[in-house]
Each structure stands twice: as C-alpha cells, then as structure tokens.
Amino acid sequence: MNPTAARFRAVVTDLDGTVVRRDGTVSDATRRAAAALAAAGIPLIAATARTPSGIAVLGELVRDVAVAVCCNGGVGCLPSTGERLWLQALDPAAVVEIVDVLAARLPDAEIGAYDGRRWMLTDGYVAVRGTAPRGPHRIATAGRLSRRPACMLSVCHPRLGSAAVAEVLAAAHVHPGLAAVTYAADDLLDITPPGADKAAGAGRALARLGIEPADAVGFGDAPNDLPMLALVGHAVAVANAHPDVLAAADAVTACVERDGFAEALTGLGLVPDERGRPTAPSSCGQP
C-alpha cells in the first residue's frame, strides 16, 4: 500500500462541482471510486449544501456514502436508512431579522426556507433560480416564511450574485452570532445557524465513526468547503475550484468533468489504479 494512504481512514467530499458534474450526473469513474472505498472499509462522508432529498437523487453513489452532512452542516443523516442524526435550527428571531432586512434593502430577493422536511419558497424563487429545490416544497409569503422553523435559508436575486447579497446583510449588521452566511454557487446564498458549517458537520460524522479529522482526506471546490478543508488532514481542491479553495488546498487534482476525485484517490493509494478506462472528454471552467 502507498505509505501516504496508510494514514487516511476516511474521505470527506463536497458534491456539486466536486464529484457531481455540471449536468447533475456522477461519472462511472467516481462511482467506482466510491465503491472501492466502501470495499476497502474507508467511509465516505458527503458534506453538501443539498438537503437529504437532494442527496437521495444521486443513485448509486448514495449507497456508498456512510454519513451525509447536509444543509452545510445543519442536518446529518444516514443515506442508507434515512435516519436523521442531528438538526440545527436558526433562532426564529434571526429568521425574522434576515427576512426583514432583505425586504427593506433587496425587495427583489427571493427566499427559500428549509425546515428539515420541506421547503417554503417565496413566489418568485423558482423563476429566479430557474428550478425548484429537490424534495417537497410549497409557496408562502415572506411574512409567513419568517414565522416557520428553518435550519437553512437560501437567497437568490435576479441581478446580484451571492457575494453582493452577503455584503448587504453585513452592511445591515446582521449579527454573525445569529447566523452563518456562505455560498457554493454565485447565484444562491445559504444561511445556516451559527456554528453550523461543513467542518462542524464533518467533525460530528467523523466522531460517530471513531475517526480523527487528521486521518481524513477532504475534497472541495467552493467557499463553503473551506472550513471542512481546514479540518481534515489532507485537503484536495478540484481544478475548477474557487481561487480561495485552490489557495487553501494541500493538493489540486483534475476538475470534476475529468474525474479529479477518482484521480486523487488513486494517487493517494486509496483506490485501485484504473488507467486505461475512458474519462469524460469535457473541458473545465471556473465556477
């Protein structure tokens, strides 16, 4: 066995942009790599902004995920059984404050609130996003949405990107102690309870498995992956990653469209070398 591989007992990975391609599919090479990890007794932890319903649609990949860290750390579950391991909710006062700030300063913003079971969406959310969130959802006014429990808020705007929306919230002095603000995509800002991020969620998942974070390899591509990549013993960025992720990583592998996840695991000696198998002949761009 590769001496480097001997120190790694788990793999933690983001999904979209890291192992899930732009068209929402997972390559054969990635599925084989996940299966090889399972066969070797190396648990795979998914750390994602997706909800449990969003993970469930990934088909064969799901069966090899030991623990899913969803909603950027706010929800944990076992994909094999659907059992929920934890759920952190935003303080109701934080939800009211954020909704009020957005209504006053960005009236065109659309909001989704996820309570652990279903989404509540403002009327224009689907039109701005171009798609509905995976899983059950219903339309509600912003006022009604602010009165419902939420473990994650997602905000989109027809003209402003995630970073600009985050700046508006910061300028309104939405206290960091009330919520954590991050994003994986430039068109969708995610807001979670304070202390709920991918690092905290991955730490909980690893503790459940009896594995120290230093003994895990992490993969990511977006700003919301940075805490998780700082937690693990070896951080790998895919080539299509955000510049901040590339700068923070210990290593860079090929982009998601060229099976960088499988390539890096092979290089570390964690899965068998499958040289000779075809990979998707696709180009990679920055997120």
What pLDDT, in 10s, does the model give residues 168-215? 998 988 766 788 898 888 899 999 999 899 999 999 999 999 999 999
Per-residue pLDDT, averaged over 255-273, amounts to 95
Task: Say what percent of the chain tops pLDDT 70.
Answer: 93
Contact present, 287 and 185 (Cβ < 8 Å): yes
Contact present, 265 and 20 (Cβ < 8 Å): no
Return phi, psi of residue 140, to 5°. -150, 155
What pLDDT, in 10s, does the model give residues 82-141? 999 999 999 999 999 999 999 999 999 999 999 999 999 999 999 999 998 888 999 999
Return d(Cα 232, Cα 72) in angstroms, integer.
Answer: 16
What pLDDT, in 10s, does the model give residues 157-169? 999 999 999 999 9
Q: What confidence score (pLDDT) does residue 1 get?
A: 38
Contact present, 91 and 125 (Cβ < 8 Å): no
- Cβ neighbour number for residue 170 with a 10 Å cutoff: 11
Rg value, the chain, Cα: 19
What pLDDT, in 10s, does the model give residues 44-77? 999 999 999 999 999 889 999 999 999 999 999 9
Q: What confidence score (pLDDT) does residue 21 get?
A: 95
- E strands present in the chain: 10-13, 44-47, 67-70, 75-78, 83-87, 110-114, 119-121, 137-139, 152-156, 180-185, 188-192, 216-220, 234-238, 251-253
Q: How far is CA 285 from CA 25, 148, 256, in A?
A: 17, 38, 10
Return d(Cα 74, Cα 219) in angstroms, integer.
Answer: 19
Q: What confidence score (pLDDT) does residue 177 get?
A: 78
Per-residue pLDDT, averaged over 17-41, amounts to 95
Per-residue pLDDT, averaged over 141-161, amounts to 93
Q: What confidence score (pLDDT) does residue 17 get?
A: 95
Quick check: 3 pLDDT over 80? no
Q: What pairs with residue 188 in β-bridges?
A: 185
CA atoms within 13 A on the CB side of 245: 30
Q: What confidence score (pLDDT) does residue 284 get?
A: 61
Quick check: 230 pLDDT over 70? yes
Return d(Cα 171, Cα 105) in angstroms, integer.
Answer: 10
Per-residue pLDDT, averaged over 231-238, amounts to 98
Tokens of 52: 């449990």
| Residue bearing tokens 């006014």 | 141
Q: What confidence score (pLDDT) does residue 70 get?
A: 96
3-state secondary structure of 215: helix
Quick check: 279 pLDDT over 70? no
3-state secondary structure of 238: strand
Greater confidence (283 vs 36) lies with: 36
Q: How far is CA 73 from CA 86, 149, 178, in A?
A: 9, 17, 16
**Distance between alpha carbon 196 and the CA centroid of its chain, in Å?**
12
Per-residue pLDDT, averaged over 22-30, amounts to 94
Quick check: 285 pLDDT over 60? no
Q: Per-residue b/e over 62-82, b at no fewer than 16 CB within 10 Å?
A: bebbbbbbbbbbbbbbbbeee
Q: What confidence score (pLDDT) does residue 176 get?
A: 67
